[in-house]
Amino acid sequence: MELDALFAEHRDAMFRYLARYTGDPDLAEDLVQETFLKVVVRPPKTGDNVKGWLFTVATNLAKDVRKTARRHEELLRRAGGIARLERSPADPSAEAERADAWRRVRAGLDALNHKERTALLLRAEGFAHREIATALGTTTGSIGTLVARALAKLATTVAL
Amino acid sequence: MSHPDQDVLVRLVDGEVSALERAALAAHLEQCPECGRARDAIEERSRALVDLLTRTDPEVRVFALARRRRPSRMPSRGWPVAAAIVLLLGAAALLATPVRAWILDRWAGMRRVIGVSEPTIRAQPSRVSFVPGSNVLVVRVANRQASGDLLLESTDSPRVSAEVRGAGDGVELTVLPDELRIANAPGARASYRIAVPARLERITVLIAGEVLAVVAPVRAGERHTVNLAWVP
């Protein structure tokens, strides 16, 4: 498949998934670009399940970036540094409600480990357990356990 | 059939069980309200999560695929050698005073034509002021110090102004188009006040190569202090 067609088909879903994973839309956009750069540099060996391959690459990139981001946050905290400031919302009441929901879902997702978060978010994108297992380098049979555990954790932190 | 575990119920909800397993589970759930409630809870939580994620998703962005030059799989060995020779010749030519003078003269003319008022790189010991070339600014501090702070203050001015306060001996400020460099010694005790335009989208503060803070100013008058002292 042509690269442009592939990009057009998967760009939005991948951006949404990465923004959910990282909590940072700017970073998500960069990671989408990085993922497709990998298609150019080192394309998948077979044409089977290209979408699964793309999301696996995206997941690995997001995992690495998140590690670095957490290190920077730790440095900031130790140095008594300054926090990122949010811009003023256009509609304060609607935005406040949305911001509150966003904080809840971020707190919930941040409390999960990489495998739990990835399993839940790929499942929300409609991936089958086999595809999620491939992205995580684990067995298909373990995905049910991961999802059950992640949902139970989220139910307590996010009050699902 | 014994009570199914949660992971089996997840697989049932996700349609990941065989027809035989599905039939056995259906028969059990019909007679076991407890397991029925557990399955319903998984379905309800899954729906609630998708709903919450959808409500808090950022707006979908329209962005194009960034085209980058495809690296050659078999790079020629000749190119690096040729590039090194060209660089060496270029460096040797720059050492010759007439060549350097010619380049500086041409660059001054070009700056007048394109309206660039600021020199690209400027260094002063204790105070600098410049208009950043874009809406992001990097403040790069060479080392952590014995003591001292870096104060960022957002203003309405379009200029970045930086000054060294206190024991600033040996500290040098250097300006690049989107970057302010503070060359300090590890034992320094100076503090720095940097006034930044509130219009800037982002200011990144790095100390010894590590990102220590990212600030997105909202309005003039905001002040943020970064401790430059070594952390235990």
Phi-psi region of A23 (alpha: psi -120 to 50; beta: other; left: phi over 0): left
Question: Is A31 within 8 Å of chain B by CB?
Answer: no
User: Structure pTM?
Assistant: 0.54
Please state, in angstroms and rounded to a whole number, the distance separating the CA atoms of residues B149 and B194: 11
Same domain (yes/no): B94, B130: no
Question: Is A73 within 8 Å of chain B by CB?
Answer: no
Cβ distance B46 to A151 less than 8 Å, yes or no, reads: yes
The complex's ipTM works out to 0.81
Residue spans of the domains in chain A: they are: 1-85, 88-160
Task: Tokens 């992971």: give the residue.
Answer: B7
- Look up the domain containing B109 and give its range: 83-114
For A5-42, how does the pLDDT look when each residue is reduced to its tens digit (9 = 90+)?
A: 888 889 999 999 999 999 888 888 889 988 988 887 77
Q: How many CA atoms, within 13 angstroms, populate the side-chain half-sphere of residue B72?
A: 5
pLDDT in tens, chain B (232 residues): 789 999 999 999 999 999 999 999 999 999 999 999 999 999 999 999 999 999 888 877 666 776 554 443 444 556 677 777 878 877 776 666 556 556 655 655 555 555 444 444 444 457 888 888 788 888 999 888 888 889 999 998 888 999 888 876 678 888 887 888 898 888 888 899 999 998 888 888 888 877 777 888 888 888 888 888 876 5
Q: Which of A41, A124, A145 sits opposite B49 (nearest CB)?
A: A124
Domain A88-160 has CATH 3.20.20.140: no
Q: Where are the beta strands (DSSP E) in B54-209?
A: 122-124, 127-130, 136-141, 149-155, 160-165, 172-176, 179-183, 191-197, 202-207
Please state, in angstroms and rounded to a whole number, the distance separating the CA atoms of residues A12 and B59: 10
Cβ distance A101 to B226 less than 8 Å, yes or no, reads: no
Cβ distance B49 to A120 less than 8 Å, yes or no, reads: yes
Please state, in angstroms and rounded to a whole number, the distance separating the CA atoms of residues B134 and B91: 30
For the domain spanning A1-85, the CATH number is: 1.10.1740
Contact list, A11 vs chain B (CB under 8 Å): 63, 65
Same domain (yes/no): B129, B217: yes
Which has the closest alpha carbon to B228: B154, B167, B159?
Answer: B167
Same domain (yes/no): B150, B90: no
* Min distance B75 CA to chain A CA atoms (Å): 14
Q: Tell me, yes or no, whether B68 lies in a domain.
A: no
